[in-house]
Amino acid sequence: MSSPGFAEALVLRTQQLTPHMYRLTFRSEFAADFTLGAPGQYLKVLAPALGEAGPPVFDPDTYKSRMRTYTLRHVRPQVQEFDIDFVVHGEEGIAGPWAKQAKAGDRILISRPGTLKFTGEGADWHLFVADMAAIPAAAIELEGLPEHAVGDAFFEILSEADRQPVRAPAGINIHWIIKADSHAPSDELIDAVRSVTWRDGAPSVFVAGEFSIAGTLRSFFRKERPTRKDLTYVSSYWKLGLIEPEHKMFKAQAAA
Ligand SMILES: Cc1cc2nc3c(=O)[nH]c(=O)nc-3n(C[C@H](O)[C@H](O)[C@H](O)COP(=O)(O)OP(=O)(O)OC[C@H]3O[C@@H](n4cnc5c(N)ncnc54)[C@H](O)[C@@H]3O)c2cc1C
């Protein structure tokens, strides 16, 4: 069966960045068209479920329920390569468990990328809030900020050892919040944002992570700390207890 809109991606290298984050480097013909320096490109991956042999077979009846979304952490179009940083969040799911045991030579299918509609350009200061799934996207934004940028970045991680180097301007204070159980709801990120010193001028706000955290912060920014629409990105990347297609449906219903 051909796979319309998808291409194979070959695993070239794997690297365990931290206890719960694996970086996989892929080569794919699609990567020749990826854009260098574009903020927050993301794509769909179709990986084999654990126990399934070989590259995933494209099945028009089931592929939608198996696709998972990932940020392109680095792209090297000239050599058709890209990196994805996968959170390993337990035994459940397809992409996370697959990434943990993936090795050079394994294959997945990938879609062409989309791009986040967000830029902090024109903001006086910057606020970033991300859990582990969104650290890759937030890190790309931080790397693109001008040297003089100021602000705060809150990253929720699963353990002290999950801190990772993030290249940000010196004026961005990076705060690491440890939450050992990603399968239990918590308010640590929300409390941290509530207590941040609000600076003068217009902030850019980037929030991405678990559904309920994103929802609470969305209404916080709407009601208590109004921010400019064009400088605000709040997005849920996954939802406790739901697989990605269920989360997507839930998100669409919540927005309707
Ligand atoms: C635009 C965008 C960019 C993203 N970029 C990245 C990225 O670069 N790296 C990355 O790791 N993720 C990223 N994600 C999140 C990723 O798509 C989801 O975490 C996805 O559900 C993982 O698929 P899975 O097959 O491992 O688990 P699923 O089959 O979707 O879910 C299985 C179970 O695991 C739980 N679960 C799913 N994700 C997590 C998590 N992160 N922590 C704890 N429990 C979880 C679910 O609630 C469910 O109970 C991104 C999402 C979006 C929308």
What's the CA gap between 198 and 203, in Å, rounded? 9
Please, are residues 59 and 1 in contact by the beta-carbon 8 Å criterion? yes
Ligand 1 contact via 211 beta carbon (within 6 Å) = no
What's the CA gap between 144 and 150, in Å, rounded? 13
Which residue has the CA at smallest separation from atom 31 of ligand 1? Answer: 243
What's the CA gap between 1 and 60, in Å, rounded? 9
Q: Topology of 7-115 in CATH? A: Elongation Factor Tu (Ef-tu); domain 3 (2.40.30)
Specify the CATH number of the domain 125-255.
3.40.50.80
Q: How far is the CA of 36 from the centre of ligand 1 (A)?
A: 25
From the number of C-beta atoms within 10 Å of its C-beta (0-12, 13-18, 19+), residue 256 rates as exposed
pLDDT of 2 reads 61
Instruction: Give the residues of the chain that fall short of pLDDT 70.
Output: 1-2
**Centroid of chain to Cα 71:** 5
Which residue has the CA at smallest separation from atom 26 of ligand 1? Answer: 96
* Token duo for residue 216: 């609470």
Index of the ligand 1 atom closest to the CA of residue 131: 41
pLDDT of 54 reads 74
pLDDT of 102 reads 95
Ligand 1 contact via 20 beta carbon (within 6 Å) = no
Pocket test for ligand 1, best of 87, 118, 135 (most atoms within 8 A of CB): 87
pLDDT of 67 reads 95
Index of the ligand 1 atom closest to the CA of residue 236: 53
Amino acid at 66: R
Residue 44: count of CB within 10 angstroms of its CB: 21
What's the CA gap between 41 and 74, in Å, rounded? 9
- Which residues touch 91 (CB under 8 Å, ≥6 apart)? 97
**All structural domains of the chain with their residue ranges:** 7-115, 125-255
| Strand residues in the chain grouped as ranges (E) | 7-18, 21-27, 41-46, 68-71, 74-76, 81-87, 107-110, 114-115, 125-130, 150-157, 171-178, 203-210, 232-238
Ligand 1 contact via 89 beta carbon (within 6 Å) = yes
pLDDT of 127 reads 97
Pocket test for ligand 1, best of 69, 140, 233, 251 (most atoms within 8 A of CB): 69
**β-bridge partners, 85:** 23
pLDDT of 38 reads 79
Ligand 1 contact via 87 beta carbon (within 6 Å) = yes
Please, are residues 115 and 36 in contact by the beta-carbon 8 Å criterion? no
